[in-house]
A and B are shown apart, each in its own frame.
Chain A
Amino acid sequence: SQTIHQWPATLVQPVGSPLSLECTVEGTSNPNLYWYRQAAGRGLQLLFYSIGIDQISSEVPQNLSASRPQDRQFILSSKKLLLSDSGFYLCAFGQGVNYGYTFGSGTRLTVV
């Protein structure tokens, strides 16, 4: 079966520190992968998506970057976190145009 793993579940980081969130998918090959951010009490904003290894598209200008070094691995990074980077980050993979996404369990990031 297809599964998606995302870690860590929670993270508290000081302003200016680096960030690395990892997401891996099992049970499928060449998935389309997505990073979303959800600010407190808000909807989901698409940050990055990837249709293949080293193929990353950014949806919004920001302090974050994404990489896909392997087919089923998607990493969200920052060199220096800002307070405004706080939020709930969700990784997802596409199940086909009629099936939407399967989401990871999310990472709650607090920048202090």
Chain B
Amino acid sequence: AQKITQTQPGMFVQEKEAVTLDCTYDTSDPSYGLFWYKQPSSGEMIFLIYQGSYDQQNATEGRYSLNFQKARKSANLVISASQLGDSAMYFCAMREGRTAGNEKLTFGTGTRLTIIP
């Protein structure tokens, strides 16, 4: 079974609108972390936001927030007031366990977001 599932291969959103990128995950480990990365056309991977499995509140970083629904095993990324520069591939990723020195991440297949002016 896929550990990280991103069901939206591509999305088109009008500039200034909010956008939600879906991510569901599968793990039996009670301790895990969820990450979102942005990959512009240049190819670099940019860390956006992190949510720990024991965190009580949803993570927020500027215009990014993570809608964490633990029972549903979903970790959707919400981008408020989208901008043209938000056009990129977005990857959801998961780390299982908290072993010191083990930060292996499993990535989803990504969602290509295009912001329309």
Contacts of A96 in B (CB 8 A): 103
Q: Say yes or no: A43 contacts B44, CB within 8 Å.
A: no
Contacts of A90 in B (CB 8 A): 45
Q: Say yes or no: B33 contacts A103, CB within 8 Å.
A: no
Q: Say yes or no: A97 contacts B109, CB within 8 Å.
A: no
Contacts across chains A and B counted by CB atoms under 8 Å = 66
| Distance, CA A94 to CA B101, complexed state (A) | 8
Contacts of A61 in B (CB 8 A): none
Give 1 or 0 for each of B92-106: 1 = CB within 8 Å of chain A CB: 010100111111111
Q: Which residue of A lies closest to B49 (CB)?
A: A100
Q: Say yes or no: B110 contacts A43, CB within 8 Å.
A: yes
The interface on chain B, measured as residues whose beta carbon lies within 8 A of the other chain's beta carbons, has a size of: 27
Question: In this complex, which of B42, B45, B106 has the most chain A Cβ atoms within 10 angstroms of its Cβ?
Answer: B45
Partner of A43, one of B42, B103, B104, B108: B108
| Distance, CA A83 to CA B103, complexed state (A) | 30
Partner of A94, one of B42, B103, B107, B108: B103
- Interface positions of B (Cβ within 8 A of A): 4, 33, 35, 37, 42-45, 47, 50, 52, 91, 93, 95, 98-110
- Interface positions of A (Cβ within 8 A of B): 32, 34, 36, 42-46, 49, 51, 88, 90, 92, 94-103, 105-106, 108
